[in-house]
Amino acid sequence: MQHRPLIGVIACERQVEGEPAQAVKHRYLEAVERFAGGVPVIIPTNQAPANAAEIVSRLDAVLLTGSGSNIEPSRYGSAASAQAPTDHGRDLFGHALIRAAVDAGKPVFGICRGLQEINVALGGTLRDLRETNLAQKHHAAPEADLGETFAYCHDVNVVAGSMLQRLSGSEPLAVNSVHYQVIDRLAEGLAINATGPDGVIEAIFANHTAAPVFAVQWHPEWRPEGRAHDMAFWNYLGEAARADYLPAAQLETRA
């Protein structure tokens, strides 16, 4: 029987019946099981960062999900005010989880907020599109319902020779866009795999880690059937978690 990898999925703090709780949207857990062939395990963030290494030692990969919360600017050395909602526990524990996974040589995959967390954990910075005139190019109108929000799309240009091109096999790609925070300064050791409108970084890959670190700014977990590049994200996560992953492209090792 083929090994089914244990994939840790980070949780967010939410209010449930008037008190704080930990939650993960079903679509992430279902994508891990159905499309990556893994066993999803929820990782609560209301715990000591020192626990991260012990948790990672029991996992085959880590997935950092998207979230409605924003990363606090203080996490990347900015004096800017935080945009509500925030999730201090996820900021703190997510950072520890990423560092522990990289140090242990375990794969790390990120979606939307997860991409931003990876960049910050490895030394990069973010900016908020709401402070520019670009917000409407990357997010549906605030009054849009869930279906309309995830139907809001734009093209991304895939970097030639990148991991994303190897996975998707085509360019450009049409992706959904549900975010306000974006990468400002790219962390050392990360390579750009795709860019969107006005040069916003839409996919990244680490070129210096023992196991792959790969993340996208869009949401491949949102009804991915029929979109080859989104299915490729989950296939790659499953392969990486089973230690049957692709090494960095030669072009990226020089980035």
User: Is 219 assigned a catalytic role?
Assistant: yes
The Cα 222–Cα 150 span in angstroms is: 8
Which backbone phi and psi does 95 adopt, to 5 degrees?
A: -60, -50
Q: Reduced to 3 states, what is the DSSP secondary structure of residue 212?
A: coil
Crossing angle (nearest 10°) for helices 26-34 and 228-241:
70
Q: Reduced to 3 states, what is the DSSP secondary structure of residue 178?
A: coil
Choosing from 72, 117, 202, 221, the catalytic residue is: 221
Q: How many CA atoms lie within 13 A of 145 on its CB side?
A: 1
Angle in degrees, CA 71, 177, 235, rounded to 5? 90
User: Is 202 assigned a catalytic role?
Assistant: no
- Classify burial at 171, counting beta carbons within 10 Å of its beta carbon; exposed 0-12, middle 13-18, buried 19 or more: middle
CA 61 to chain centre: 13
Q: Reduced to 3 states, what is the DSSP secondary structure of residue 92?
A: helix
Return all residues near 129 (Cβ < 8 A) that are at least 6 apart.
135, 137, 138, 139, 179, 180, 181, 182, 200
Choosing from 219, 229, 239, 252, the catalytic residue is: 219
User: Is 26 assigned a catalytic role?
Assistant: no
Choosing from 112, 138, 179, 252, the catalytic residue is: 112
Q: Note whether 185 and 160 are within 8 A (CB).
A: no
Residues known to be catalytic = 112, 219, 221
